[in-house]
Amino acid sequence: MPFAAILFDAYGTLLDVGSVRAAAERAFPGNGAALSALWRDKQLLYSWLRTLAGRYADFWHVTGDALDYAVAALGLEVDDTTRTELLAEYERLTPFPDAAPMLEALASRDVPLAVLSNGTPRMLDAAFGNTGLRHHFAALLSVDAAQQYKVAPAAYQLAVDHFGASADELLLVSSNGWDVAGAAAFGLQTFWVNRQDAPVERLGAEPTGIGRALADLPRWLDERG
């Protein structure tokens, strides 16, 4: 195995953030798709803006702010109970169907697996505990320890420090093109799960490998030898 550890992004890579749509639709019939999409867009944007501005707030707070914005932007109103229920969806996101088989396929490869995520430790513990995937990971690394979100170098440095390896000995697996670009610029090896067949981000950093699904990762590792 050519890597000291394999790191996985959580949201959108292992855990399907689109699974909040059903709860959003129950809360706001006819608006579930629009609300969940805008919520996710603002969640990411706020994480980047807070990092750039030096105004860190943890991901639970950011997720709540993003929800509040999305509700207001769509001209909706939310009571405290419904808001709490919607936020709780981030602690029980549905894993992608190929996540568990892929992790099982990596279990015999004698390489540590970890999550490197914007999520808070509590969010990650809850989400991966609820999915039954927690036992696959040696660590759930949260950028909360760095007080900066991906793609800040400090976020990726957490994995280097945790495993005591050089950046190029670590592989980050993510479905988010911006995350792959940030990790590659930092010096990590990267595998992009390009589910939407999107073009590579024009940020001056190329993925080490590309697949269309998580199931492509074990095959790609085998090809590398």
Residue 105 — φ and ψ, nearest 5°?
A: -65, -25
Looking at residue 176, the DSSP 8-state letter turns out to be -
Those residues with Cβ within 8 angstroms of residue 205's Cβ, 6 or more apart along the chain or in another chain: 180, 181, 182, 184, 185
Name the residues annotated as catalytic.
9
CB 174, CB 193: distance < 8 Å: yes
State the DSSP code for 167: G
**Residues in a beta bridge with 171:** 6, 189
77-86: long-range contacts, CB 8 A cutoff, minimum separation 24:
78/27, 82/27, 85/23, 85/27, 86/20, 86/23, 86/24, 86/27
Q: CB neighbours of 148 closer than 8 A, spacing ≥ 6?
A: 51, 56, 154, 155
What DSSP line would sit under 13-56, residue for residue? TTEEGGGGHHHHHHHSTT-HHHHHHHHHHHHHHHHHHHHHHT--
Strand ranges in the chain using DSSP code E only, listed in sequence order: 5-8, 15-16, 94-95, 113-117, 139-142, 170-174, 189-193, 209-211
